[in-house]
Amino acid sequence: MTPQILAGEWLDIGWVNEIPVRGARTVQVEGGDDIAVFRTGENRVFALLDRCPHKHGRLSQGIVHGGAVACPLHNWRISLSTGEALGEDKGCTPVVPVKISGGRVLICRASTLKAAA
């Protein structure tokens, strides 16, 4: 993704079309866990801490199915909107608020720092 630009409480991380459909890009957080930014087949964008609540697999390397991502380690399905494990699995990964403005993806700076800490 392109360099991060601070815009008040929101961090501009690049163009929507830089995130592959049904895929993810990561935002590196100095001194903390990365943030995974996902784009669904319906062109919706979500951001989660890039760590599965089960065995800490990198969710950014998983496959996006509808509104969930499958962890690449043990196939846990994590809701992109809530961060909750789906089905019989239990656990949650922090959600980072995200919005689109003029085709640019913005994530909440304060939430990013809190989630990554």
CB atoms under 10 Å from CB of 70, counted, come to 19
84/54 Cα distance (integer angstroms): 11
| Domain assignment of residue 74, yes or no | yes
On the question of pLDDT at 111 being above 70, the answer is: no
Q: Are strands 95-96 and 5-7 parallel, antiparallel or unpaired?
A: unpaired
What does the pLDDT read at residue 116? 56
Q: How many domains does the chain have?
A: 1
Q: Which tens digit of pLDDT belongs to each residue from 40-81?
A: 999 999 999 999 999 889 999 999 999 999 999 998 999 999
Containing structural domain, residue 67: 10-111
CATH number of the domain bearing residue 17: 2.102.10.10
Q: Which tens digit of pLDDT belongs to each residue from 11-22?
A: 999 999 999 999
Order of strands, sheet of 23-27, starting from the edge strand that comes earlier in the sequence: 23-27, 35-39, 45-49, 95-96
On the question of pLDDT at 26 being above 80, the answer is: yes
| Domain assignment of residue 116, yes or no | no
